[in-house]
A and B are shown apart, each in its own frame.
Chain A
Amino acid sequence: MIRVDGMRKRYGEQEVLRGVSLEVSKGELFGFVGPNGAGKTTFLKCLLGIARADSGSIVMDGKEVQRQPLAARRLCAYAPSETAMYDHLRVDAMLRFALSFHAKANLAHGRELLDRFALDRRKRVRALSHGMKRKLLLAQAIASGTPILLLDEPMEGLDPEARRGLEGLLQEEAAKGRAVFFSSHDLASVERVCHRVAFLRQGELLECDRVDTILERMAHVLRLHLREPMELTALPQSPSLQWRGAGQHWQLRFEGELADVLPHLQKLPLVGLRDASGGLEEVFEALYGEVSA
């Protein structure tokens, strides 16, 4: 459904995307993760032709975005991370406006979603809270009837209950055969609903794989807190052990069984030892270090 190959984008001196390549299939829920400023929104803008990629190819269901931007956009519905809308419109009018451009949009479905989100359709957009606006944006995207859903930070501003509801909704849409691509800081949600996930850092893809595969791979990671700073050379070395970190904080990726690793650690001045294979939060920490999501 979505095929991106070597996408690069530069704003002045700053290279925002550095050869990003990924694919999203029909019926797939794809999570796009990265810290602020990693290039997630720019990537989405390039997919839609709102910003132009400097190089690389972007193909949406056979339509190349650079050559046929309109045809490609007809396949996509988008909910931006910015919740700004036309404040003077009422919720229902805003929904009608957003859907009026999509040939296969279903206004009744959109209204049904607004009801499901407990949004008063007669209210002016300006009277909505941030979370309510987010729901309106999501409703218009979902009701657009396009085969591809592009959502930028869809969970942001939603309360936990609404997040759960949205997760279910996205799973329903994917089950109907839609490709759902969303960027998020909510790693728990990504882990719960996504089939695959990509991690972006400073415009580069660090990881892109099935969620379960990544979790499996990360199941062999320990985080160590030492009483005193140590150099890498002073740490136990073995072909099955890989160290990352510095000073008192180290991350150990190992192959084989945990029982075989523990004897190596006995001589270290350990203050803390933690299994880092908990979930995507741990993967994120491992990939980004101290950078917070």
Chain B
Amino acid sequence: MMLFRQYLEEHRFLAIGYFFLLLINILAGTYYWPELRDNFPEIIKLIPLEPLQDFVRAFETNGYWAYFSVQQFFKGAGMFGIAAGGLIGSGLVAREVDRRTAELLLSRPVSRARILFTRWLAGAFLLFVPYVGVAMIGWAIAPQVDEDLDMMLVLRGSCYTFLFILCAYTATVALSTRFSNQLKAGILVLGLLLMQLAIYMIDKLWDYSLYNLIDLDVTLPMDGGPFPWMEAGWLSAFTLLFYGLALWGFRSRDF
């Protein structure tokens, strides 16, 4: 419990910052919606990139759920969530080495498996609560722009896209167990994901981007359709794989 609390306390400001970024994103997005809804053709003309134009066309065709999905799930999870996951995950072990507190922590009578799990859980909690909390705020304020969202749908969408954040976060944790510098581990994962986002923006290449896992092709059908179990399964499997690597990396390392 002490380990969990200590990790929460240490990253509380980061989590607060993450929450406010998500909140600003959803508030700005929500209150911009009426203007967008009334001017689709003009706005599409102003957008240079085709993938982004496709997004806006999808809003026009599919309505507010598509728009909300992009604001909260694609942007919120794919950018802010990943950034927060990278920052929180990269410090899990590497920061202890970097600031020379690893000896103090590892000399306590607690197993490395428990240290890793407790801290990983605390980090996941810090990522989950603001993310789902802001999604709920988005759901609650939708009627103010004359739209209506199904709460269960928002929750299901949030849980699914959180798996994407969790997977990236766990990959960063795995790197963190082998690095002695938090920045290096964080920058590596963030760099890879930015590259994925860049690929997503390139015509013909975008099929190869991991961002396909949280784009409208996956989240739109959730409205009235099935939960994307296969994608969720892959994300969970990779999360488990990265967790296994993290555990191996941490347990086999000399400090």
- Residues of chain A having any CB pair with chain B under 8 Å: 11, 45, 48-52, 69-70, 73-74, 76, 78, 80, 82, 84-86, 88-89, 96-98, 100-102, 137, 150
* Complex CA distance for A98 and B107, rounded to whole angstroms: 10
Task: Count chain A CB atoms within 10 A of each CB in B10, B103, B111 and give the residue with the most.
Answer: B103
* Complex CA distance for A69 and B9, rounded to whole angstroms: 28
Task: Check if B254 sits within 8 Å of A52, measured CB to CB.
Answer: yes
Task: Check if B6 sits within 8 Å of A45, measured CB to CB.
Answer: no
Does B208 touch A at the CB level, under 8 Å?
no
Task: Check if A70 sits within 8 Å of B6, measured CB to CB.
Answer: no
Q: Identify A102's interface contact among B9, B101, B109, CB under 8 A.
A: B109
* Complex CA distance for A52 and B107, rounded to whole angstroms: 13
Q: Identify B107's interface contact among A11, A80, A96, CB under 8 A.
A: A80
- Chain B contacts for A69, CB-based, 8 A: 111
Task: Check if B2 sits within 8 Å of A100, measured CB to CB.
Answer: yes
Does B184 touch A at the CB level, under 8 Å?
no
Task: Check if B6 sits within 8 Å of A86, measured CB to CB.
Answer: yes
* Complex CA distance for A78 and B107, rounded to whole angstroms: 6
Q: Identify A101's interface contact among B101, B110, B254, CB under 8 A.
A: B110
- Chain A contacts for B100, CB-based, 8 A: 82, 84
Which residues 3-23 of B sit at the A interface, judged by CB distance below 8 A? 6, 9-10
Report the 7 A-B pairs with minimum CB-CB distance, sorted nearest first.
A78-B107, A84-B100, A101-B108, A100-B2, A51-B254, A73-B109, A74-B109
Does B229 touch A at the CB level, under 8 Å?
no
Interface string of B110-121 (1 = CB under 8 A from A): 110000000000
For this complex, into which size category does the number of interface residues on chain B fall?
A: 10 to 19
Task: Check if B103 sits within 8 Å of A45, measured CB to CB.
Answer: yes
Task: Check if A88 sits within 8 Å of B9, measured CB to CB.
Answer: yes
Does B240 touch A at the CB level, under 8 Å?
no
* A84-B99, A84-B101, A85-B101 known; A51+B255 contact, CB < 8 A: yes
Q: List 19 A-B contacts (CB under 8 A).
A: A11-B254, A45-B254, A50-B106, A50-B107, A51-B255, A70-B109, A70-B110, A70-B111, A80-B103, A80-B104, A80-B107, A82-B103, A84-B101, A86-B101, A88-B10, A89-B9, A96-B2, A100-B1, A150-B107
* Complex CA distance for A200 and B109, rounded to whole angstroms: 27
* Complex CA distance for A272 and B249, rounded to whole angstroms: 58
* A52-B254, A88-B9 known; A101+B109 contact, CB < 8 A: yes
* Complex CA distance for A136 and B107, rounded to whole angstroms: 16
Q: Give the distance to chain B from A43, nearest Cβ to Cβ, in Å.
A: 13
* Complex CA distance for A69 and B109, rounded to whole angstroms: 8
Which residues 142-184 of B sit at the A interface, judged by CB distance below 8 A? none
- Chain A contacts for B104, CB-based, 8 A: 78, 80, 82, 84-85, 98, 137
Task: Check if B101 sits within 8 Å of A98, measured CB to CB.
Answer: no
- Chain A contacts for B255, CB-based, 8 A: 45, 50-51
Known: A78-B107, A84-B100. 19 other contacts (CB 8 A): A45-B255, A50-B102, A50-B103, A50-B106, A50-B107, A50-B254, A50-B255, A70-B111, A76-B109, A84-B99, A96-B2, A97-B6, A98-B108, A100-B2, A101-B2, A101-B108, A101-B110, A102-B109, A150-B107
- Chain A contacts for B6, CB-based, 8 A: 86, 89, 97
* Complex CA distance for A74 and B107, rounded to whole angstroms: 9
Q: Give the distance to chain B from A71, nearest Cβ to Cβ, in Å.
A: 8
* Complex CA distance for A102 and B108, rounded to whole angstroms: 8
- Chain A contacts for B254, CB-based, 8 A: 11, 45, 50-52
Q: Give the distance to chain B from A201, nearest Cβ to Cβ, in Å.
A: 22
Which residues 31-67 of B sit at the A interface, judged by CB distance below 8 A? none
- Chain B contacts for A96, CB-based, 8 A: 2
Which residues 71-118 of B sit at the A interface, judged by CB distance below 8 A? 99-104, 106-111
- Chain A contacts for B10, CB-based, 8 A: 86, 88
Across the interface, name the chain A residue whose C-beta is closest to B9: A88
Q: Give the distance to chain A from B231, nearest Cβ to Cβ, in Å.
A: 38
- Chain B contacts for A85, CB-based, 8 A: 101, 104
Q: Give the distance to chain A from B255, nearest Cβ to Cβ, in Å.
A: 5
* Complex CA distance for A125 and B76, rounded to whole angstroms: 35
* Complex CA distance for A18 and B254, rounded to whole angstroms: 18
Across the interface, name the chain B residue whose C-beta is closest to A96: B2
